[in-house]
Amino acid sequence: MKPTDLRGILRYVPMFRDHVFIIAVDGSIVSHENFTNIVTDIAVLRSLSIKVILVHGIGYQLVSLAGEHNVPLSDVQGEGITDAATMSLAREASALVSQTVLEHLSQAGLRCAITNAVRATNLGVIKGKNHLFTGKVEKVDVAILKSMLAQDILPLVTPIVCDREGQSLRVNSDHLAMELAAAMGASKLIYLTPFSGLQINGQVRVNLPEDELKKILADKSIILDPRIRSKAVQAAKALDENVPRAHILDGRVFGGLLTEIFDKVGLGTMIHANDYDQIRQAKKKDAQALYNLAKHGAKTDALVLRTRQQIEQSISEFFVYEIDDSIIGCAALKPYPDGKTMEVCAVYVQPFYHGRGVGKKLVEYAKLKAKESGAKKLVALTTQTQGFFQSACGFVSGSLHDLSAARRKELKVSGRNSQVLQFPLRKLKDAVR
């Protein structure tokens, strides 16, 4: 998606209006030439009535200052021990980064203010080691932040946070952003990093379910950069606190923030809760999207081409697989006159989502619905996906006798010579996990 494609953006406006996004920017991204473009993207979000709270990191600047002053750092990321010398440099780095961010926001015409709406507490002694000036979030003053947002003021939260006594503590900015997202009921937690996303074996995972992320984090054989692991850990915690989406993406890419939010494919890694995948009954308004899917399927002869009118007439038979309000797959469930057999048909998934289990979920859903309707057997006709139905969905070879008389006649007239497959619904308990 091009950032200038307003039609692509505006379709999401009703979905995100008045929602809160927490955007966490690494210190290295604040220093990158693309940060000006990021601020412009934030201005676009604000113009669409999306409320933004900005959190910045300081790791990049902290390392630079340590080199200039020849001071060894006890910890860079704010997760380990922060000694007095490191804390002093961290305060200086935070002031420099905050001022840079304020300058960019002001140049973009955005009202903003640094806030002490977060209170920290000392991390204390862990495994016998005193973490000194390292802190963690103790409380988020939601009322102050909501008041600022209501007045069209963008809150800027720094990783130097005071405790009850006013003592400054260094807090990891990834953790800080997660706590803000949870407390504010944010719709999105977005990490802008110098990485293209969460990479596994050299490949960026575009869409990642929360439970799969937790398996990755627990797998000691998977090596992740510590900076990415920190964000992934906090993303998982955010989803546990009912934040629906967490994103990890490259902040150096022009238009990357808008692309990640407003394009159905996105740019980096989106980690989603279980409600992200949604299969629902098709509605009349879905007819055009279903017709588009049917056209794509017919090009490879995978599906029989249906007119939009035909789809509208049989819309009650269709169900769709939806991701963020975009239909990326469909299937239909057709009853036979005997009441004992149903047919799953028109199963199609957009090519980009192949290999992600979407087709299998659609077929498994069809099995459940067929059994709920009292059917004893589910049949499928296929010219190209016999292997999928048999190996992934548990179907076995059938015959023309499994079809209704009308369906046998249709098949003969079409000349498609489709393979007949069938699934005994008594086996459903073993087939569906």
Tell me, yes or no, whether 103 and 89 share the same domain. Answer: yes
The pLDDT score that the predictor gives to residue 296 is: 87
Instruction: Report yes or no: 184 and 142 within 8 Å, Cβ to Cβ.
Output: yes
Could you give phi then psi for residue 291, rounded to 5 degrees?
-65, -40
Tell me, yes or no, whether 325 and 256 share the same domain. Answer: no
Tell me, yes or no, whether 272 and 282 share the same domain. Answer: no
| DSSP annotation string for 77-108 | SSSS-B-HHHHHHHHHHHHHHHHHHHHHHHHT
- Give the dihedral of Cα atoms 196, 198, 200, 201; nearest 10 deg: 20
- The verdict on residue 220 lying in a domain is yes
The pLDDT score that the predictor gives to residue 5 is: 62
The total of structural domains in the chain comes to 2
- The verdict on residue 111 lying in a domain is yes
Distance CA 259, CA 334 (A): 38
CATH number of the domain to which 422 belongs: 3.40.630.30
3-class secondary structure per residue, 16-62: HCCCEEEEEECHHHHCCCCHHHHHHHHHHHHHCCCEEEEEECCHHHH
- The verdict on residue 90 lying in a domain is yes
Could you give phi then psi for residue 381, rounded to 5 degrees?
-110, 130
Question: Could you say which of 221, 246, 276 is where a domain stops?
Answer: 276
Q: In what order do the strands lie in the sheet with 118-122?
A: 118-122, 134-140, 168-171, 160-162
Tell me, yes or no, whether 159 and 300 share the same domain. Answer: no
Q: Spell out the per-residue pLDDT of the chain, length 433, in tens.
A: 454 466 666 666 677 889 999 999 999 999 999 999 999 999 999 999 999 999 999 999 999 999 999 999 999 999 999 999 999 999 999 999 999 999 999 999 999 999 999 999 999 999 899 999 999 999 999 999 999 999 999 999 999 999 999 999 999 999 999 999 999 999 999 999 999 999 887 788 888 888 889 999 999 888 888 899 999 999 999 999 989 899 999 999 999 999 888 876 778 999 987 544 578 999 999 999 999 998 988 888 778 888 999 999 999 999 999 876 789 999 999 999 999 999 999 999 998 888 878 899 899 999 989 998 999 999 999 998 999 999 989 999 999 999 999 999 999 998 889 999 999 998 765 333 2
Which residue segment(s) compose the domain that 148 sits in? 6-276
The pLDDT score that the predictor gives to residue 6 is: 66
- The verdict on residue 354 lying in a domain is yes
Tell me, yes or no, whether 312 and 248 share the same domain. Answer: no
Instruction: Report yes or no: 194 and 28 within 8 Å, Cβ to Cβ.
Output: yes
- The verdict on residue 1 lying in a domain is no
CATH number of the domain to which 105 belongs: 3.40.1160.10
Tell me, yes or no, whether 71 and 104 share the same domain. Answer: yes
Residue length of the chain = 433
Question: Could you say which of 276, 302, 330 is where a domain stops?
Answer: 276
Quick one: tokens of 370? 């067929």
Tell me, yes or no, whether 253 and 303 share the same domain. Answer: no
Tell me, yes or no, whether 270 and 307 share the same domain. Answer: no
Tell me, yes or no, whether 317 and 262 share the same domain. Answer: no
| Alpha-carbon distances of 42 from 36, 96, 228, rounded to whole Å | 10, 21, 23
Distance CA 384, CA 295 (A): 16
Distance CA 123, CA 79 (A): 9
- The verdict on residue 123 lying in a domain is yes
Tell me, yes or no, whether 178 and 292 share the same domain. Answer: no
Tell me, yes or no, whether 265 and 358 share the same domain. Answer: no
Tell me, yes or no, whether 27 and 173 share the same domain. Answer: yes
User: Which residues contact residue 188 at a Cβ distance below 8 angstroms, ignoring those fewer than 6 apart?
Assistant: 19, 21, 22, 181, 243, 244, 245, 246, 247, 261
Question: Could you say which of 238, 257, 276 is where a domain stops?
Answer: 276
- The verdict on residue 170 lying in a domain is yes
